[in-house]
Amino acid sequence: GESVGLHLPTLSVQEGDNSIINCAYSNSASDYFIWYKQESGKGPQFIIDIRSNMDKRQGQRVTVLLNKTVKHLSLQIAATQPGDSAVYFCAENFQGGSNYKLTFGKGTLLTVNP
Amino acid sequence: DGGITQSPKYLFRKEGQNVTLSCEQNLNHDAMYWYRQDPGQGLRLIYYSQIVNDFQKGDIAEGYSVSREKKESFPLTVTSAQKNPTAFYLCASRKERGLSTDTQYFGPGTRLTVL
């Protein structure tokens, strides 16, 4: 598969534990944020998003928290399962002019031990 | 992968050859994007298109070219001018070109290796 996990921060958890993956974003004017999951050799898969007018958003087993004061985003995964093992990365949108561009973090490799 | 297809999955190219990567979407999305992914790095934008017959350079456009003749299709050509083309290439699309809070979805990717 793709070696997208090389040189990435890693998080190792036991099956059933909760996972917290962090992301520091760069632009205080960013207005939209997305978390993606990428398994080896595959394209990124959308997990959850949040707009800058929100602090928290929940999905199925996942929660995203946004702290605009310190430009920090986190993804919480409840009851982590082996199938959650992947690289997770955040993306921020800064709408410069009339164009929409996403800036991506390098990602965190999550390993779930059975 | 949500209606975005990329082909081929694996592609091998000899040095000095141009090669074209296919990206098709049936989501009726306006905007399409090409990214390059290298180990340990975030996605880097090569080109993007917000509407048919229009496209803009991204952050690393040198050595690449694109076309957007149809809404559904956004092929990427990796030319011989691209000095380090071996990478994982990802195509993405988004429904509304002018809406900043619109999610971007990705295809499954093409792994290009230069021999």
DSSP label of A17: S
Split at pLDDT 50, 70, 90, the class of B1 is very low
Q: Is there a contact between B107 and A43 if contact means CB atoms under 8 Å apart?
A: yes
Strands (E), A10-71: 10-14, 19-24, 32-38, 45-51, 56-58, 62-67
Q: Give SS3 for A82.
A: helix
Cβ–Cβ under 8 Å, residues B103 and B94: yes
Report the b/e string of B78-87 with b at 16+ CB within 10 A.
beeebeebeb
**A108 Cα to chain B: minimum distance (Å):** 10
Give the pLDDT confidence score for residue B97 in this predicted structure: 60
The pLDDT tens digits of the residues spanning A61-108 come to 999 999 999 999 999 999 999 999 999 999 998 766 556 678 898 899
A10 CB-side CA count, 13 A: 10
The rounded percent of chain A whose pLDDT value lies above 90 is 73
DSSP label of A4: T
For residue B98, give every residue at least 6 positions away whose Cβ sits within 8 Å of its Cβ, in sequence order, or none: A98, A100, B50
Tokens 């040189």 found at: A7
A-contacting residues in B 6-65 (Cβ below 8 Å): 6, 31, 37, 39-43, 45, 48, 50, 56, 58
**What is the Cα–Cα distance from A10 to B98, expressed in whole angstroms?**
36
Which pair of structure tokens corresponds to residue A99?
């164009």
Q: Give SS3 for A68.
A: coil
Split at pLDDT 50, 70, 90, the class of A3 is very low
- Type of residue at B39: P
> Which of B94, B89, B92, B96 has the alpha carbon at shortest distance from B106?
B92
Chain B residues within an 8 Å CB radius of A98 = 98
Give the pLDDT confidence score for residue A1 in this predicted structure: 36
Partners of residue B20 on adjacent β-strands: B77
**B49 Cα to chain A: minimum distance (Å):** 10
**What is the Cα–Cα distance from A100 to A94, expressed in whole angstroms?**
7
